[in-house]
Amino acid sequence: MRNKIIFIFVLIVCFNNNVVTQNIKQSYFKLTTSNGLITAVYNSKKETVEYVFPHIFENYDSSLFVKPFIGNIKLNTDQHPLTTEYTENTHVICAEYKGFSVYYFASFVNCYKIFYIAIKGDKEIINNISLEYESGEGKLLSGINLLTNSHSDLSVRTSGTLLSGNVLCDNGNKNFVKYFMFSLVDCFHNDRKIIINEIERLRNSKNSLIDEEINYLKNIFLKH
């Protein structure tokens, strides 16, 4: 089942990348990343993750919508990305900056309800990078409408209690990655230690989760 989800997502990503390579003027600026459990949307025009949903479906039932648990995530920097694209036709979104790279993804390798923002570069540079975002029960996300809803002007509010954390990892050869992680607690999700446990796992790992994720997807490509 998980491989089927991955394969469908790969087809979508390949189509988007193919449009770009045909020198067609870009009109699509929202990039989606998902692992089948959660999904996030990055707006390359705004240089912002607009929202992260705890599910890939829109409704619990006909009257209850799935709400994001965090939104409007952006880097606290004056720089702008030089390029933004899917990495090697995977679901991993990469924004290249001068001196560092930022990767946005939900992990198939771990398959957790965690949204990752991983910043790769020199320790002195990435250690000082922070994020701004909006979250909290009932928080109105500024400047965002739920356009997929039948009421196109419906405002978007976050739901649930945010869990977050970050860790700076050295994977050897001065290959530093700073991971920011986001998950939630609500009536459907109650793992309050999910971020703490993942920080410990990343700290003890000798491998980059970015590389593991990309290689995992590339192996899926080879099988299809």
Span 39-76, pLDDT tens digits: 999 999 999 999 999 988 776 777 777 889 999 999 99
Span 104-113, pLDDT tens digits: 999 999 989 9
Strands 93-97 and 83-86: antiparallel
Q: What is the pLDDT of residue 24?
A: 44
pLDDT band at 18 (very low <50, low <70, confident <90, very high): very low
Give how far the C-alpha of residue 107 lies from the chain's centroid of Cα atoms, to the nearest Å: 9
Domains delineated in the chain = 2-223 (2.70.98)
Which residues have a Cβ under 8 Å from the Cβ of 32 and sit 6 or more positions away?
A: 12, 39, 40, 41, 42, 91
Helix, strand, coil % in the chain, rounded to nearest 5: 25, 40, 40
The pTM of the full predicted model, rounded to 2 decimals, is 0.84
Contact 213, 109 (CB under 8 A): yes
Identify the three-state secondary structure at position 92.
Answer: coil
Q: DSSP letter string over 122-182?
A: -HHHHTT--EEEEESTTPEEEEEE-TTSSSTT-EEE--SEEEEEEEEEE-STT-EEEEEEE
Q: Given CA atoms 49, 54, 60, 66 in this order, what sign does their dihedral have? A: negative
Helix (H) or strand (E) holding 51: strand 48-53
pLDDT at 145 over 60: yes
